[in-house]
């Protein structure tokens, strides 16, 4: 299902839910459901109360539906098969070009990347530092700083 179709369905269901609430409120007001279902004392129809309650529900709908619409517009989805190289982990885009996975995801979503080293890679790349017990925040060893030889 495409994002636009799904977004439209979500908004229609949300609007329909608000209308269903108003319909149940009026059914209760006109048919006096508590009296018929539970034997409570009968109450007369109060048109003003029904209109005020309906107006309050519709005001909530007028506030909530645009917020939902704005949030749905911000959603960017990756879907389908994503061809990725087994060796270098580059991804083939829709035009047949290969690019780094970080660039592809950044261009097709709102995600950003920050790079670091996991403890296993840090131990493999900097074994002398790892053996000395110098650990960075989170238990990962801190690589040496300075000019690269």
Query: Which pLDDT belongs to residue 73?
Result: 85
Q: What is the token pair recorded at 111?
A: 């995600």
Q: Where are the domains of the chain?
A: 3-74
Query: Which pLDDT belongs to residue 143?
Result: 54
Q: What is the token pair recorded at 115?
A: 């790079």
Residue with tokens 């108003």: 22
Q: Among 14-18, 77-81, 88-92, 93-97, which is the least confidently predicted range?
A: 77-81
**Separation of alpha carbons 130 and 9, rounded Å:** 54
Who wins on pLDDT, 64 or 120? 64
Query: Which pLDDT belongs to residue 137?
Result: 47
Beta bridge partners of 135: 141
Query: Which pLDDT belongs to residue 53?
Result: 95
pLDDT tens, 92-127? 988 889 999 888 888 888 787 888 888 888 888 888
Residue 60 has pLDDT above 80, yes or no: yes
pLDDT tens, 27-46? 999 999 999 999 999 999 99
pLDDT tier at 149, thresholds 50, 70, 90? very low
Query: What average pLDDT does range 41-63 have in this prediction?
Result: 95
């Amino acid at each position: 299902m495409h994002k636009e179709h799904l977004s439209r369905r979500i908004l229609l269901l949300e609007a329909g839910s608000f209308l269903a609430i108003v319909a149940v409120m009026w059914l209760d007001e006109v048919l006096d459901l508590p009296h018929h279902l539970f034997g409570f004392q009968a109450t007369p129809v109060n048109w003003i109360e029904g209109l005020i309650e309906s107006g309050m529900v519709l005001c909530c709908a007028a506030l909530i539906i645009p917020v939902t619409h704005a949030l749905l517009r911000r959603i960017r989805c990756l879907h389908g098969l994503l061809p990725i190289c087994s060796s270098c982990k580059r991804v083939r885009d829709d035009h047949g070009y290969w690019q780094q996975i970080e660039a592809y995801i950044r261009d097709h979503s709102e995600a950003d990347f920050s790079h670091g080293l996991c403890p296993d890679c840090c131990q493999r790349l900097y074994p002398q530092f790892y053996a000395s017990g110098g650990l960075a925040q989170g238990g990962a060893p801190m690589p040496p700083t300075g000019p690269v030889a």
